[in-house]
Amino acid sequence: MRTENEGDDVLVPPRHLVFAYYVTGHGFGHATRVVEVARHLILAGHDVHVVTAAPDFVFTTEIQSSRLHIRKVLLDCGAVQADALTVDRLASLEKYHETAVVPRDSILKAEVEWLNSIKADLVVSDVVPVACRAAADAGIRSVCVTNFSWDFIYAEYVMVAGHHHRSIVWQIAEDYSHCEFLIRLPGYCPMPAFRDVIDVPLVVRRLHKSRKEVREELGIDDDVKLLILNFGGQPGGWKFKEEFLPAGWKCLVCGASEKDELPESFIKLAKDAYTPDIIAASDCMLGKIGYGTASEALAFKLPFVFVRRDYFNEEPFLRNLLEYYQCGVEMIRRDLLTGHWRPYIERAMSLKPCYEGGTNGGQVAARILQDTAVGKNYVSDKLSGVRRLRDAIVLGFQLQRIAGRDLSIPEWYADAQNELGLRSGSPKLANGTVEHVDSSHIKEFEILHGDLHDLPDTKNFLDSLADLAGRDSEKRQLREHKAAAAFFNWEEEIFVARAPGRLDVMGGIADYSGSLVLQLPTREACHVAVQVNHPSKQKLWKHALARQQDKGQGFTPVLQIVSYGAELSNRGPTFDMDLSDFLEDGKPISYEKAHKYFAQDPSQKWAAYVAGTILALMTELGVKFENGISMLVSSAVPEGKGVSSSASVEVASMSAIAAAHGLCISSRDLALLCQKVENHIVGAPCGVMDQMTSACGEADKLLAMICQPAEVLGLVEIPGHIRFWGFDSGIRHSVGGADYGSVRIGAFMGRKIVKSTASKMLSGSLSNGDIMNSHDLEDSSSELLEAEVNLDYLCNLSPHRYEASYTNLLPESMLGEKFLAKYGDHNDHVTVIDPKHNYSVKAAARHPIYENFRVKAFKALLTSAASDDQLAVLGELMYQCHYSYSACGLGSDGTDRIVQLVQEMQHGKLSKGEDTSLFGAKITGGGSGGTVCVISRNSLRANQQILEIQQRYKAATGYLPFVFEGSSPGAGKFGYLKIRLATREKAQHI
């Protein structure tokens, strides 16, 4: 990598050059920065052919030259936005598939012909993938100019889409690998497809008019404070009000509809208004982050109040750039839409923007491009496309890891993290072992209640709290750390709870059908710190205090939450609300209203898992919360891996809140309350085993539970010769995903059909039309049929009864509307049947019936004599479970590959006459990706074979799986800590 400095003039080359400049179809920001680069190329006497879908005026307003040629073609679609602030991830992939994948062959043919027809000397892309491949096919060099690439953006979307569209990321990365090198702009994302990089300054459009001239044209005096509202299209139905603005301010509105009627202080700008001039003439900007808004705010030293966009992965890097140069303040979406702008604007005006870097990136980039076009080599020792592609493949999977916890983190992403300062979680060595914990800060707390249980992660968490207390301000650089440090009163008591994730050894999705399950608490856990203060003493964030003052109701209790690690997944790191928002006419609001409340801002939807526990306590136990609550959430349980990250957050949050309010709730009852949070407030139709394991589990023991609804049978000791592992497939799992919900509905449909059939058999009214094979209806006792008529849980139907009487009566699948017409409701209170959806019924119903039997057999075998046969049968039961998941439609390529690797290792050793240490594997939890559980001997050879499978999986996919090993106590066993920062005198004696 090299850096090109500012200040170099564009050099006139020996000959006239032709550039083909491709512009992505995502927004105007890319087009506006292309304008600046193209302008300098044209000033040097070259022709520039711009391939774009943007309106002509974006280019012709700034460039009036016959050397500018505009060709209106859309070759990619960027990110499809549901509204001005939300990206529709699946729709983005679908649109890209339709725009760039389906017509790929015809696109390449057309572009090669066109490039040859204009005799292009160089292809420039910002940042259209197929342009690089077309250039290579035409024998023309290509260069990309950008701060992000679409393989980075789409990689996270692919995780959500499951197995759909995964090839898109690989194809994009391969296309980029044909690029000569990357001209990288500030605020860049990791872009491993480009191994040769030249950094340039900010690309910023020049000013046409002075601040005074702009204000005179608008009729605004120089001493009037101006806010520019710049969202590139306003949220639909948004009504502005005078009280949104601080007193004496005016607001310039970009992109307003001609039909919009604005208050007196809001001024509608023309559609083709030249935004850089307006920005430079303003005192503050309110908008969404994009490269254009960020670069111009920095260049013109304009305070920028920004609202987070959901699911656009470029944003955290630009946000960091703004905040590093004291130019940015984040506003939560709720306050944007309700007009609570004043405290954010006032905070922004207190900033002192300090960017002093170059702003002539367009000029510098143009010089590099023309030098490249005439044959100058800007890079040496160029790596092959295959090598670049291998690194790019790593990207798609690595995006879903937890910070600081994976093995062999690629250098490119580690470097990016170091620049952002985003490392969090427990420290780990390269081999995955926990570092020695420095307990130097733990002595700064008086532990008034509880026990650390010698847990390294708990010691680390207390250490991080000590850092927040102000003894080391250098460690409070992230906004989440600053926010947490600001809301705790360190002289008062703080309550800490801890809850682990869980590894689903056996049982899985059969929990919602009443199965026996066997679950192991993970070593990874979530910690939550809670402090309760009287409203008059609660330390509030400035915008929360301003909101309270605006209501004029005096001091009222406020809930404030900070979530560590939020930035890595582009979530809002903070959340706050008045606790009165949970009340309506003095009573708790419904769970349905709470679900809608949290769903209105996707970037803060995570808060439902935490704040929802408070509403559950209010609703189910009648708890009244009269004091303010401050909560810090720090979880090392990775998201989307199928190891119950959500349950650990819910259980730790409710445990800490209960401790802080003196509530005595049994672990079982607490787990059931947390399940209500996930089912009804979050809206995920999970069973109860996740919360029960997190609350009731114990280290190195399997929690045996019958989910009817939550009967704990006890703890099963894991024999000393057996060990369980978890393999993360890298494919994101979501219990709220459509596949899981559809399978659950199919199972409940099956139960309803069984009950209906049994009722007809008992009454003798079963018609011939209902019988597929009459000989299957053997004589059944009335007692059995009566029990099946009243079947509460599908798992209470034994496999032999299912085979004898019902297997041929259940349809393979059934349309929702047909089921509703024939059977009415499916009697599941957490899912809703879609009349137009075709549900798999037979496989979904069969799975829990047989899984319950498999789990019972597994539990019995664990206590039998140790032998190879014991291990072989345990492994076989796990394999059967895995393939039953697949029959339900809950498998995935990644999890199937891990199971296949285990089988190859197992049978390969046996065929060579060698002893095997691996015996079985299965997908876990809700399926459709996530983690695979593996059973092995507890031996050094098993460790070696696990590491070998890890490396084989990486060789096949490019992703190095995180391996879960070890265990830790559940929240009930841990209890809670009550701590207080010690005075310096006491700290010396602790």
Q: Which residues are tagged catalytic? A: 690
Which residues share a beta bridge with 412?
none
| Amino acid sitting at position 297 | A
Helix axes 150-161, 89-96, angle to 10 degrees: 110
Residues with Cβ within 8 Å of 771's Cβ and at least 6 positions away in sequence, in order, are: 777, 809
Between CA 540 and CA 537 the distance in angstroms is: 9
Cis geometry, peptide bond prior to residue 709 (ω within 30 degrees of 0): yes
Judge whether 329 and 303 are in contact, CB under 8 Å: yes
Judge whether 540 and 487 are in contact, CB under 8 Å: yes
Q: Cβ atoms within 10 A of the Cβ of 420, count?
A: 18
Pairing of strands 225-230, 197-199: unpaired
HEC profile of 57-125: HHHHCCCCCCCEEEEECCCCCCCCEEECCEECHHHHHHHHHHHHHCCHHHHHHHHHHHHHHCCCCEEEE
| Segment (H or E) for 280 | helix 275-281
Pairing of strands 931-937, 918-923: antiparallel
450: closest CA among 975, 981, 969?
975
967: closest CA among 407, 503, 451?
503
Which phi-psi region, left, alpha or beta, contains residue 333 (left: φ > 0; alpha: ψ -120 to 50)?
A: alpha
Q: How many residues does the chain have?
A: 990
Between CA 903 and CA 524 the distance in angstroms is: 27
CA distances from 718 to 304, 575, 864, 919, 923 (A): 56, 41, 11, 15, 20
Q: Cβ atoms within 10 A of the Cβ of 380, count?
A: 6
Which residues share a beta bridge with 525?
500
Which residues share a beta bridge with 183?
145, 198
Pairing of strands 628-635, 701-706: unpaired
End-to-end CA distance of the chain: 51
b/e 178-217 (16+ beta carbons within 10 angstroms → b):
bbbbbbbbbbbbbbbbbbbbbbbbbbbbebebebeebbee
Between CA 382 and CA 179 the distance in angstroms is: 11
Which residues share a beta bridge with 532?
629
CA distances from 925 to 205, 503, 686 (A): 51, 8, 9
Query: DSSP states of 806-830 as a string?
Result: ITTTS-SEEEHHHHHHHH-----TT
Between CA 829 and CA 593 the distance in angstroms is: 16
686: closest CA among 651, 737, 728?
737
505: closest CA among 329, 702, 769?
702
Between CA 254 and CA 239 the distance in angstroms is: 14
Judge whether 980 and 446 are in contact, CB under 8 Å: yes
| Amino acid sitting at position 802 | Y
- Per the structure block, which two tokens stand in for 363? 């000029």
Between CA 427 and CA 421 the distance in angstroms is: 14
